[in-house]
Structure 1
């Protein structure tokens, strides 16, 4: 065999070994789905903190793949995929998880949490542990709570300083029973619709306003179709790392610890970043022409009273014991 032919044969074999039989192929793959864009803190920190830590500290035995922009579906679809084991991890809001375990709707009760500190103290403590325990029955488990931020009201009619300012106003809400009940109690007309339809609905005046955290108001460019943003802070929007329990159980003990520590580091960093991000984006929204008004504690009082008046409606669905525990630890 000529030297040139021999070299060609060796090169072909080398390529076959590299591409067909990767020497350093990961033993496990964690696919992480989220509806957020790549620029959102959820995605940035998943890459910079979770993915980096898990891949490095597993010695390459775990590969982490991130799928942003709802590539794998909406929060509900991804949570269902996690439950059946098609997807290893998703980052849904807790209102989505309530479709699988009703007690998670306790987090959606308006003005249950009035500060980040009280929310995370409760979620890292008794309340979170109780919810996590109930979640296991669904085949899923939680690896940590973080946030989208407090939900605020935007509209095109007027600044909101009192419940009277909302009377008769069509406000798009999520299809979350405590949210809908709250806006009804305020005299508004809550109108659930999919998030994908919301921008056009605001643009065409199908609804007068909507309610979301600052990050989503900014990233969804609602400042182009909404004039007023009132910092009502009526619900603290909680997100969590939802994973398939069987998948975690299938990992060797050392890799389970790596994944859990990676999730913990992500949560810690996320909680540091979000308040700073929100402050920055409020300034940007003002610069883009939105009129932003805050509410004094006295102005918030009738909103809080309306919120607490609906709690009894959900004792059967959420569980009276869970609501009592939440009220106790949220103080």
Structure 2
């Protein structure tokens, strides 16, 4: 090969490499959950695998778990500003940017996970996604199940609403959750998540409320005796994307991202529900917690006391129309599933 031929071949190889590199885009996906066998992280891996497979590697997804990029609020801001393509905040954090998210916190809104799943894909949910985009500039790709929240404590099993009287219960720093606990005759004590286990160990509070996966993984079960799965509220996750980035993709890649978000949501939905009994059994077998699964009648007694005052608070903050539309959607969905 002549020097000229070798030079031309080198240019061709370099051009080919550059052209190949130009077709590959790395996107960042940040979440708060650490890497491991958790529903959220497993769902995130499904997203990554689906996108990379369906785009033939044209899009690669770099994962940033365990709050590597900051807390949920910081990551939402990064998505909004465009320095992060995707994130996965909880409804509580998202309500700081979009207050109508509070409507999902109505106590005993959902009687079961399957009802919730259908509502999360309803016209009501689609309209909310559109409104999130119009209001915040953030594209909501899908809603998923963060988990049903239930009470733990160190005093007694919580079978009847009267069993809550006099207890000090840690809540998130949320007026909705504080209103719910206080309505039951207990005292709501807002404490940051990082300080909950210490507060329980020292007796600052008698109990707290979280889904089974959090109670097990967060160490709450190591310092609590009783766990009542009364499922008083349903927490959501929102898969969000920077809209400028999303709309810059070609239509085929937009579809892949949207499909991957739905797969991610379905993965978390199923694994969160499986986690209710998986982690409850581990709490019972490994840590000796006494587990009680509330019956429909027991839940109805709690709902009768907690829903009216919390509904009043939520209506004042998000408006009657939004509340009424969600309740109507839930009622219609229950009829479709259970009949009647």
TM-score over 0.5 for the alignment? yes
1:3-23 Cα shifts (integer Å, max 9, x gaps):
xxxxxxxxxx9xxx7xx9795
Q: Secondary structure at the match of 1:330?
A: helix
Distance 1:78 1:203 in 2: 31
Counterpart position of 2:312: 312
User: Residue 238 of structure 1 is aligned with which of 236, 248, 258?
Assistant: 236
Q: Secondary structure at the match of 1:300?
A: helix
Counterpart position of 2:294: 295
Q: Contact 1:109–1:307 (CA<8 Å) still a contact in 2?
A: no
Counterpart position of 1:110: 107
**Which moves more between the two structures, 225-234 or 176-185?**
176-185
Q: Secondary structure at the match of 2:169?
A: strand
Distance 2:70 2:191 in 1: 17
The alpha-carbon distance between structure 1 residues 35 and 99, as it changes in their structure 2 partners (threshold 3 A), is same
The alpha-carbon distance between structure 1 residues 22 and 157, as it changes in their structure 2 partners (threshold 3 A), is farther
Cα RMSD (Å)? 2.3
Q: Contact 2:39–2:267 (CA<8 Å) still a contact in 1?
A: no
Counterpart position of 2:73: 76
1:39-59 Cα shifts (integer Å, max 9, x gaps):
212112311x21111112222
* Long gaps (5+) in structure 2: 1-9, 332-340
Moved over 6 A (4+): none
Q: How does 1:12-27 map to 2 (within 5 A)?
A: 23-24=20-21, 27=24
The alpha-carbon distance between structure 1 residues 230 and 26, as it changes in their structure 2 partners (threshold 3 A), is farther
Q: Secondary structure at the match of 2:120?
A: helix
Distance 1:296 1:326 in 2: 24
Distance 1:274 1:165 in 2: 27
Residue 169 of structure 1, CA deviation? 1.6
1:82-104 Cα shifts (integer Å, max 9, x gaps):
12222111111112211111111
Distance 1:203 1:22 in 2: 59
User: Residue 215 of structure 1 is aligned with which of 196, 210, 213?
Assistant: 213
1:122-176 Cα shifts (integer Å, max 9, x gaps):
2211221221122012011211121122101011111111222222222111122
Distance 2:22 2:226 in 1: 52
Counterpart position of 2:162: 164
Counterpart position of 1:276: 274
Counterpart position of 1:154: 152
Counterpart position of 2:49: 52
User: Residue 139 of structure 2 is aligned with which of 141, 145, 156?
Assistant: 141
Q: Contact 2:79–2:241 (CA<8 Å) still a contact in 1?
A: yes
The alpha-carbon distance between structure 1 residues 96 and 232, as it changes in their structure 2 partners (threshold 3 A), is same
Residue 25 of structure 1, CA deviation? 6.2
Q: Contact 1:26–1:63 (CA<8 Å) still a contact in 2?
A: no
Q: Secondary structure at the match of 1:124?
A: coil
Distance 2:110 2:223 in 1: 29
Distance 1:262 1:88 in 2: 14
Counterpart position of 1:3: none
The alpha-carbon distance between structure 1 residues 58 and 305, as it changes in their structure 2 partners (threshold 3 A), is same
Counterpart position of 1:286: 284
The alpha-carbon distance between structure 1 residues 277 and 299, as it changes in their structure 2 partners (threshold 3 A), is closer
Q: Contact 2:29–2:63 (CA<8 Å) still a contact in 1?
A: yes
